[in-house]
Structure 1
Amino acid sequence: MSIRGALAVTVGKGTQWALRTFTKGGTSLPGKLAAKIDPGVLAQLAKDYEVVIVTGTNGKTLTTSLTYHVLKQKYPDIVTNPTGANMAQGIVSTFLEKTSGSGKKIAILEVDEASLIHVTKYIKPRFIVNTNVFRDQMDRFGEIYTIYDKMVEGAALAPEAVIIANGDSPIFNSRKLVNQSIYFGFNHTDDGETMAHYNTDGVLCPNCHSILHYKFNTYANLGKYYCPNCDFKRPELKYQVTAIENLDYKSSSFQIDGYPFHIKVAGLYNIYNALAAYSVGREFGLSPEEIQAGFTETQQKFGRQETIKVGDKLIILNLIKNPVGLNQIIALLNYERDPFSVSLILNDRPADGTDISWIWDGEFERLTDFNIPYVGVSGIRRDDMELRLKVAGISEATMEKTESIGDVINSFQHAPTEKIYVMATYTAILNLRKELADQGYIQERMK
């Protein structure tokens, strides 16, 4: 390591120690300082690691966690970024945090789509996992094709990396890449004939621009697609979900390649995350039994159906950031058999996305399918959320608008149900967890 690199590592590690010792800690600042001293420090820190990068719009955090716990069954010396610090400086901090270990060194890294190019400039991963591409943070990313352009550009800097892509997503089969690609997807039902919902992005054939048809459609633009006017269709799948056995509000049972699996989170979208992690595990030579053991060890992640006890109430936290993710979370309510209330918190800080127009594409109207006695509304853009819910048909008599996070927690106490589903943007969940920690309901904060 160069003198400049050694200085960068020393400053970064020293900053991490100071933050842990004198504050609540931090994830990105040490990496930011280290990279300022030596922009190439990431290449030096990661040079002995076999790296898997997980990127895409939705599912990065849980896919990374599942993959980490799967590979831990065979490889004990693994580094990852569990707090979701997924931009370049956060990745540097992740490696600074790692102490020396023995055996094969592996890194499982969640990487922001727009930051991929800044990571692959220095790290040449063995695999890049592409989860999906949906409209997200329009102020930052633009449309889905702009997002995918960034992902393709980042992958091209590591041409030897194999892309493990969601084959059910048409965009991942829309162009020729310099990277080798293998695909995972669903083959859990008989073929039929359907089309995606009319308000769905990414359903135009990249060759002839006809609207894609589907033999089956799992959700959004995902499924067994084909173009009725040319030869564009879903690629051959190497790994596939072959059966859905049970879905409820807190878990999922299914088969992949004929083997049974169970995860402690709900929803088809999380089965996709498990399938991605399974695909990586199989590429590393793990058995289905080892992969299931990894799934079993995976803990609830920040804002991903995370359950917190607040007095006599059970709070289920769900991160919302785009229409597709919101719609899948609302779909989970179909599995709930107990009475429940809903609390919606909408912020528009940079980490949330400052463009909140996406709430008008989210299917809030589906909330009227449930007998919800109480709907809380809060956040910086609470007035916008209140208006959206009124347009969706939510009764004003059931709605309560609160200003502060403290008021939100107080509202939990007088909600008429034991269970409360919280749907909140990123900084709103951070603020909520901070306040819950301050009040003693949880022991640690997300940094």
Structure 2
Amino acid sequence: MKFYLALWFAKLMGVAINMISKDRGTNLPGEKALTIDPDFVKHFKNIDYSKVIFITGTNGKSSTTNLVTHILKQNRKKIVSNLEGANLLGGIATILAKEASLSGKLKADYYIFETDERYLPLIYAQLPAQNMLITNLQKDQVQRNGDPDFIIRKLKEVVNPKMTLILNNEEPRSRFFEETACRSIYYGVSHHDESFTKGADFPTQACPKCHHDMSFDYYNVDSIGPFHCDFCGFASKKTPDYLITDLNFYDQSFKLKDVSFHMPYDLPFMFYNYAGSLAVCEAICGIAPEAAAKAFENFKNIGGRFEVLTYKNKTIKYMRIKQENPDTLQSALNIMASDQSEKMVALGLYVVNDFVPHYINTFYAFDCDFKPVVDSNVERYLCFSEHVSYDTANRLIYDGVAKEAITIMDSDNINEIFAEIDKAKTDNIYLITWLSTFEKMKKFIEGGQN
């Protein structure tokens, strides 16, 4: 009876919240249902766990979940998924309550859930999925996640011989789980025009098996690329099961198994999302590459990851990153550095306030290589936001930027930010900041201030 009370309450709350705002209510109804019935998710009916797919990891899980769901829906599959990104147990409980009948019965071909890597054991205890894609395991949100080894230990509580794993072939910590599952499927990306190498003075990562230094042949994304360990022999496969090849930035196309695909977003970090999604769709869901390719033509990713605004005669290219994640910051820096035309770089890094105590997280910027950006024809830098703006400026100075080329603004006043953008001679502006600040800037432009 507790389950039915929780279910009906969650449904009513979801309807009520949706009447106020369609963008809210992705987590709260499920959280409240779990207070009524702590085993709420366990009690839904008709879920075939062999049709449940978890998508987890540090970076790329939202985009990959979105793309997998899009491909399957385009191929007329009934999907239940938490596309809004509420990836804790409460968010999954919310979407299940919404999609279930009043008696708790569900009907779907597949259940695709983005899952938070730290809280995966709690989710799995109530929803024992038999399929899981691991995108990558990297430094992230130190308050919550500690270090990647901590997350590896969390995933070890879940991965078991009943599972099929879809693993990033070129990310050592993801591949580390290959021996635990009953079946492992590998995906990867071939060398392309944006692949790069690092100098010997740049630190590498430890082998997850023997803890000696890993060697990377090259990188497709920071810390992801073909690798090997000279000590224990742990290495990426030369030819993974699903390999993206023939990446053509000019034509915005690539191939997988000799099938041509349109590239909706030509950003290097998206290539692994493409490869992982196609691996899931064929190996788990039976959607052949030819059928999946059609869905790429009209794929729109989650808003806010990479957007372009027009302000007066200037183009503002916004790249959203996790504030607590050096790999996403490095990917954004690499994109900036690849543009050799004159530019202005605006960096709004903030105090991280996931929970008390808040902290000024600047150390991750020192894990990144700013030198390629510094050498890529930057007219001027703007470092804004309260507290962290001075740290950001210092990080630039350490890589050789002249103090005179940096404007420091210890606030995120939108009018002042645009006043600085106005001063730039170049019309090419790159922006990294929190999504909330970007949304304010977007409203400023839409309000006729340009």
Into which bin does the TM-score normalised by the smaller protein fall?
A: 0.7 to 0.9
Q: Secondary structure at the match of 1:150?
A: helix
Segment drifting more, 233-242 vs 317-326: 233-242
Contact 2:138 2:327 in 1 (8 A): yes
Q: Secondary structure at the match of 1:14?
A: helix
Residues 80 and 316 of structure 1, relative CA distance in 2, 3 Å threshold: farther
TM-score, normalising length from structure 2?
Answer: 0.84
- Give 1:45 shift: 4.1
Contact 2:337 2:372 in 1 (8 A): no
Q: Which residue of 1 aligns with 2:321?
A: 320
The answer to whether the aligner puts 1:383 opposite 2:390 as a matched pair is yes
The answer to whether the aligner puts 1:74 opposite 2:72 as a matched pair is no
Question: Given the alignment, which residue of 417, 420, 439 partners 1:408?
Answer: 417
Q: Which residue of 1 aligns with 2:258?
A: 258
The answer to whether the aligner puts 1:30 opposite 2:33 as a matched pair is no
Contact 1:196 1:221 in 2 (8 A): no
Residues 216 and 434 of structure 1, relative CA distance in 2, 3 Å threshold: closer
Q: Which residue of 2 aligns with 1:12?
A: 10
Please give the alpha-carbon distance, in whole angstroms, between the structure 2 residues aligned to 1:46 and 1:199: 52
- Give 1:76 shift: 3.7
Please give the alpha-carbon distance, in whole angstroms, between the structure 1 residues aligned to 2:217 and 2:117: 29
The answer to whether the aligner puts 1:365 opposite 2:338 as a matched pair is no
Contact 1:342 1:421 in 2 (8 A): yes
The answer to whether the aligner puts 1:152 opposite 2:156 as a matched pair is yes
Please give the alpha-carbon distance, in whole angstroms, between the structure 1 residues aligned to 2:169 and 2:275: 11
Please give the alpha-carbon distance, in whole angstroms, between the structure 2 residues aligned to 1:45 and 1:401: 54
Q: Secondary structure at the match of 2:188?
A: strand
- Give 1:302 shift: 3.2
- Give 1:125 shift: 1.9
Q: Which residue of 1 aligns with 2:97?
A: 96
Residues 327 and 197 of structure 1, relative CA distance in 2, 3 Å threshold: farther
Please give the alpha-carbon distance, in whole angstroms, between the structure 2 residues aligned to 1:266 and 1:147: 30
TM-score, normalising length from structure 1?
Answer: 0.85
- Give 1:394 shift: 2.6
- Give 1:103 shift: 6.8
Q: Secondary structure at the match of 1:155?
A: coil
Residues 97 and 369 of structure 1, relative CA distance in 2, 3 Å threshold: farther
Alignment of 1:228-239 (within 5 A): 228-235=230-237, 237-239=239-241
Residues 154 and 273 of structure 1, relative CA distance in 2, 3 Å threshold: same
- Give 1:12 shift: 1.8
- Give 1:312 shift: 4.5
Gaps of 5+ in 1: 443-447
Segment drifting more, 386-395 vs 131-140: 386-395
Q: Secondary structure at the match of 2:209?
A: coil
- Give 1:440 shift: 4.0
Segment drifting more, 257-266 vs 124-133: 257-266
- Give 1:339 shift: 4.1
Please give the alpha-carbon distance, in whole angstroms, between the structure 2 residues aligned to 1:408 and 1:391: 24
- Report how many residues are paired: 428
Q: Which residue of 2 aligns with 1:421?
A: 430
Q: Secondary structure at the match of 1:241?
A: strand
Contact 2:46 2:107 in 1 (8 A): no
Query: Letter of the aligned partner of 2:184 in structure 1?
Result: S
Question: Given the alignment, which residue of 103, 111, 114 partners 1:110?
Answer: 114
- Give 1:196 shift: 7.8
The answer to whether the aligner puts 1:294 opposite 2:295 as a matched pair is yes
Query: Letter of the aligned partner of 2:32 in structure 1?
Result: L
CA deviation profile, 1:220-257 (whole Å, cap 9, x unmatched): 44333223344332247542335233236xx8422223
Residues 374 and 90 of structure 1, relative CA distance in 2, 3 Å threshold: farther
- Give 1:413 shift: 4.6
Please give the alpha-carbon distance, in whole angstroms, between the structure 2 residues aligned to 1:26 and 1:143: 31
Please give the alpha-carbon distance, in whole angstroms, between the structure 2 residues aligned to 1:316 and 1:28: 31
Segment drifting more, 350-359 vs 141-150: 350-359
Q: Which residue of 2 aligns with 1:445?
A: none
- Give 1:210 shift: 3.6
Segment drifting more, 228-237 vs 266-275: 228-237
Query: Letter of the aligned partner of 2:26 in structure 1?
Result: T
Q: Secondary structure at the match of 1:113?
A: coil
Please give the alpha-carbon distance, in whole angstroms, between the structure 2 residues aligned to 1:60 and 1:405: 32
CA deviation profile, 1:15-55 (whole Å, cap 9, x unmatched): 22222223563322222111111122223347536322111
Q: Which residue of 2 aligns with 1:48?
A: 47
The answer to whether the aligner puts 1:392 opposite 2:399 as a matched pair is yes
Please give the alpha-carbon distance, in whole angstroms, between the structure 2 residues aligned to 1:421 and 1:99: 44
Residues 433 and 98 of structure 1, relative CA distance in 2, 3 Å threshold: farther
Please give the alpha-carbon distance, in whole angstroms, between the structure 2 residues aligned to 1:431 and 1:215: 38
Alignment of 1:63-212 (within 5 A): 63-98=64-99, 104-156=108-160, 159-174=161-176, 176-188=179-191, 198-204=201-207, 206-207=209-210, 209-212=211-214
Question: Given the alignment, which residue of 19, 22, 26 partners 1:21?
Answer: 19
